[in-house]
Structure 1
Amino acid sequence: THTLKYFYYRSSGVPNFPEFLAVVMVDDVQISHCDSNTRRAEPRQEWMEKVTADDPQYWERETAKFLDAQQTYNARIEILKPSFNQTGGVHVYQSTYGCEWDDETKKINGFSQGGYDGEDLLRFKLKEAICAAAKPEAEILKRSGDEKKAEMESLKYYLTHECVYWLKKYLDYGRSSLMRTEGALLSRHLHGYRLLPWRSHTVLEER
């Protein structure tokens, strides 16, 4: 089974750390990165340069996608603070989404979930194309998702079609490299960050 995962991290009040960080991984190997300091999507594997040859606007689109996500997450963290009766301090909103593809059975699966301050917050139910709140404080975000049914259906389509398309493309571009690094620790590829598991999610911590 192969996986394509996107990790988004939005922090508030964390010193010496980007307010927003996006990491893209294929089979637990980091392939690209963007943060609020550079404001630019960049490759993390040499073979990712091949993408530009086939798609010259690829990195511009990725940059725009990540910067748009940053604005969305800025709003979410400000919405959540009052829900948790918070004003200042250190807070983190993080999400991961992506897809899995079994190259033998051809089975595909998509996932999307979010967490706040180390606790599960929201989970996307793929079959029903709805969000489920893990905590009462997340209901405000869940209701927002429920009101945007078309966006939820669009997310379902993305996770089960477009995401899988790109997963296969990345595997084709970097197959020899990815096969050599299969089973490698995720933290080896994060260039200054390490991943810490919490419940069903993951937290990025600066080294």
Structure 2
Amino acid sequence: VLHSLRYLEVAVSEPSPGIPQFMILGYLDGIPFARCDSERGRAEPLTQWIKDGVEPGYWDGQTQLCERRQHVAARNLEIVRDRYNQSRDLHTWLRVYGCDLLSDGSVRGSRRDGYNGQDFISFDLRSRRFVATDRAAEVSRRCWEDENVAEEWTNFLEHQCLEWLQEYIGYGQKELDRKEPPDVHVSGKEEYGMLVLSCHAYGFYPNAIAVNWMKGDEIRDQETEWGGVVPNSDGTFHTWARIEVWPEDWEQYRCRVEHPGMSEPGIFAWEPTSGRILTVVVAVSITAIIILIALIGFIVWKRQSG
């Protein structure tokens, strides 16, 4: 994927302070660049490059589009709630849609709708059909196919979305082409007799990154747990990977980080203080003693029972 454009729409049935009834966020290559919500009542830029690049009337047009999307989302929320025969409590409607520009020049588009945190219906651009997850969603699928909604979304994802993506790339090209290497920190923490090694990468751009734990020269992906690549407020990203190891083996483990901003992959090791090592060793020793005492007690109990 060379570049991506995504929109996130969220509607709630019971808004509260800080949680608007409706909100849209636009993301270019994973970076939030525009926002509109029902509390502010206007579409607003989130990056300087989009603020400087667009025409003065752009935000008025985006505000009108946001208002139309809000009415559609509120209506969808009511329809789906009634279809499940649910009460007027807190319910949520979520839609994620957008397009990717691939390295071969082709376009990949997607749309997914969710209700109360669960998948509801999605649109498959290749087959140009909606895919329902249950009977309630199947009703929507039939209605939308009768109304040629699939054709509308095909046109949007293949053409209009791509036009917007290329336009925004032009505004933010300098920002998007920058490369900021990650700041990597490795830490260790003893939990239940095991040592949890964590590798955190901060402040990198673009969001493409590989973080792997290695034991010796072998990558241990099956034992590794990863966090997502999450945007920061300054337009960079952060992520993490962690692994559980036996405390006595910690010196064999290294964190390998590969990123376009680095001239070559970096290898990072945990560097505990002497007190930290002593704490881990003592914890392991105490655990071993407890197990030994329990084993001796079990043997004595068995003999007495016999």
Q: Does TM, normalized by the shorter one, top 0.5?
A: yes
CA distance in 2, matches of 1:139, 1:171: 37
> Which residue matches 2:92?
92
CA distance in 2, matches of 1:152, 1:63: 25
CA 1:5–1:155 in 2, change beyond 3 Å: closer, same or farther?
same
> Which residue matches 2:121?
122
1:183 and 2:207 equivalent? yes
Q: CA deviation at 1:168?
A: 1.4
Give the number of the structure with larger relative contact order, counting CA–CA contacts within 8 Å between residues 6 or more apart.
1
Match of 1:32, as an amino acid?
A
For residue 122 of structure 1, give the secondary structure of its aligned residue in structure 2: strand
Are the aligned partners of 1:124 and 1:131 in contact in 2 as well (CA < 8 Å)?
Answer: yes
For residue 22 of structure 1, give the secondary structure of its aligned residue in structure 2: strand
For residue 166 of structure 2, give the secondary structure of its aligned residue in structure 1: helix
CA distance in 2, matches of 1:88, 1:71: 18
Equivalent of 1:160 in 150, 158, 166: 158
CA distance in 2, matches of 1:124, 1:12: 24
- Once the two structures are superposed, what CA deviation does each residue of 1:121-167 show, in whole Å capped at 9, x if it has no partner? 11112133221111222123222211211x32121111011111111
CA distance in 1, matches of 2:134, 2:120: 6
- Once the two structures are superposed, what CA deviation does each residue of 1:69-104 show, in whole Å capped at 9, x if it has no partner? 1000111110011222211221110001100002x3
> Which residue matches 1:35?
37
Structure 2, gaps ≥5 residues long: 179-204, 209-228, 235-306
> Which residue matches 2:12?
11
Are the aligned partners of 2:112 and 2:123 in contact in 1 as well (CA < 8 Å)?
Answer: yes
Q: TM-score, normalised by structure 1?
A: 0.83
**Which region of structure 1 is more displaced relative to structure 2, 37-46 or 169-178?**
169-178
Q: TM-score, normalised by structure 2?
A: 0.57
> Which residue matches 1:195?
none
Are the aligned partners of 2:132 and 2:138 in contact in 1 as well (CA < 8 Å)?
Answer: yes
CA RMSD across the alignment = 2.0
Q: Which has the larger radius of gyration?
A: 2
CA distance in 2, matches of 1:62, 1:169: 15
CA distance in 2, matches of 1:136, 1:34: 32
CA distance in 1, matches of 2:120, 2:233: 27
CA distance in 2, matches of 1:63, 1:20: 13
> Which residue matches 1:193?
none
CA 1:178–1:33 in 2, change beyond 3 Å: closer, same or farther?
same
Q: CA deviation at 1:177?
A: 1.7
Structure 1, gaps ≥5 residues long: 191-207
Stretches of 4+ aligned residues off by more than 4 angstroms: none
Figure out how many residues of one structure are paired with residues of the other and give that number.
187
